[in-house]
Amino acid sequence: MTTPSIRSRVVVIGGGILGVSTAVHLVRSGADVTLLTEGELASGASGRSLSWLNTAGLRSPEYHALRQLGIDRYRTLAARSDVSAFLRFDGGLTWAPDGESFASILDHERSIGYDAQWVTASNVAEWTPGVDPAALAAEGAIFNPGEGWVDLPSLIAFLAAEFTARGGRLVTGAGRAVVLVEDGRAVGALTADGRRFGGDAVLLATGPDVPAQVAEHGITIEDGSPTALLVWTKPVETELKAVLNTPNVAVRPTPSGALALDSAWSEEALIVGDDGSVTVPDGVVDRLLEEASRVLAGNPALALDGFGIGGKPIPGDGDPVLGELEQLSGYFVAFTHSGATLGLIAGELLAREILTGEKSPLLDTFRPARFSGALV
């Protein structure tokens, strides 16, 4: 059964995975959609994301369930032969820092039915080749066979091609676009060069800029977005296929045979000026390359190919912010740290809410109203 649409024209602001995914789901349902991007597609946070597909660790039941659905949608997509270069399910391996234990996390994951295997230095190669056994914690590590990774720029290009083929209007290089509000409702968007795009609803999916943009309308969304660093190596010979989440470096394969790297300590080392400029202290990138080499079998020399710096979208309470602003009719937002894992399912659920006005109970925990204390 198809629910009739109450909104036929939609403007989506943001060329990352959340914006593009929602735009595709909207045009699949027959909506008239305009997608506006400040620069090129994937030029923001989606272009510098580790993009680990998982729901590992300790999370609320609601968040875990939503992430599981996110992985399910990727599983469906992965059945297509034309996405295998940029979407893989080869598992994820993680271990605890010195002095800590992940035994309780293993017990929790198993208790909720999340596939988790305990591996040690003696058998890690059987589960995930390409890892140096000497790098593992003495107690061992958790291997989650159902996890994977996606190269978001490749996925976004893939979805954008469908979007335009179905008649969606893609406007890149539009500069900072603002949501137009009249009489308490969103009526479209205005680009930096003065172009106006009308709509019955607007989705704002501009990553770490979302809180500041809604604040212009007097609405609060708590923001915990840090400045982050993602490093890309040149292609390297390695058997690694899984994602590694280790105490000093996270490592993810890429479609080109290179590796993507990040870490908490390198993020904290960045120097952010009052004017927003970012300085990477000497030695940070070299150390990140060294830490990655240390966890790989054979400890290969890793050469820098490039890096990306910018805001990492994280709501103040850590949970996603998805749905309509209760103060402004037709004004929807998408703001989450788990953009990669939630990218497909969030776009699906938001598109349905935008078009029909029917709220999905899957998003009730994550609505922006929680920051104002309003009822959802």
Query: Which CATH number goes with the domain that contains 335?
Result: 3.50.50.60
292 in the same domain as 263: yes
On whether both 322 and 212 belong to a single domain, the answer is: yes
What one-character DSSP code corresponds to residue 312?
A: -
Angle in degrees, CA 339, 348, 313, rounded to 5: 20
Chain centre to alpha carbon of residue 81: 23
CA distance 250 to 39: 28
Residue 372 has pLDDT above 90, yes or no: no
Q: State how far the Cα of 135 lies from the Cα of 245, in Å rounded to an integer.
A: 12
What would the pLDDT profile of 47-83 be if each residue is shown by its tens digit? 999 999 999 989 999 999 999 999 999 999 999 889 9
Give the domain-ending residue among 266, 293, 311. Answer: 311
Task: Please check whether residues 291 and 363 belong to one and the same domain.
Answer: no
Residue 352 lies in a domain: yes
**pLDDT value of position 5:** 64
pLDDT of 333 > 50? The answer is yes
Q: Which of 263, 293, 311 is the last residue of a domain?
A: 311
Q: Are residues 304 and 320 in the same domain?
A: no
**In the predicted model, is pLDDT for residue 3 greater than 60?**
no
Per the domain annotation, does 81 fall within a domain?
no
Residue 369 banded pLDDT, cuts 50, 70, 90: very high
Question: Does pLDDT of 204 surpass 50?
Answer: yes
pLDDT attached to residue 81: 86
Rounded CA separation 354/331 (Å): 9
Same domain, 299 and 355: no
Q: Is the pLDDT of residue 145 over 70?
A: yes
Residues 251 and 301 in one domain: yes
* Amino acid 376: pLDDT: 42
pLDDT digits (tens, 9 = 90+) for 151-196: 999 999 999 999 999 999 999 999 999 999 999 999 999 999 899 9
253 found inside a domain: yes
Same domain, 160 and 306: no
pLDDT in tens, 227-268: 999 999 999 999 999 999 999 999 999 999 999 999 999 999
Q: Report residue 57 as tokens.
A: 């660790």
Confidence of residue 4 (pLDDT cuts 50, 70, 90): low
274: amino acid identity, one letter: D
Our count of domains for the chain comes to: 2
286 with 335, same domain: the answer is no
Angle at 232 between CA 127 and CA 63, to 5 degrees: 60
Task: Round the CA-based radius of gyration of the chain to a whole number and report it.
Answer: 21
- pTM higher than 0.85 for the full model? yes
Cβ(186)–Cβ(331) below 8 Å: yes
Please report whether residue 242 resides in a domain: yes
Domain housing 184: 9-47+152-224+316-371
Tell me: do 287 and 248 sit in the same domain.
yes
Q: Could you tell me if 186 and 248 lie in one domain?
A: no
Domain boundary among 283, 311, 339: 311
> Is 259 a domain residue?
yes
Give tens-digit pLDDT for 6-41. 788 999 999 999 999 999 999 999 999 999 999 999
* Same-domain status, 139 and 156: no
Q: Quick check: is 87 in a domain?
A: no
Q: Is residue 75 part of a domain?
A: no
Question: Is residue 341 located within the same domain as residue 251?
Answer: no
Residue 373: is its pLDDT beyond 50?
Answer: yes
Residues in the chain, overall count: 376
Domain of residue 115, CATH code: 3.30.9.10
In a domain, residue 108? The reply is: yes
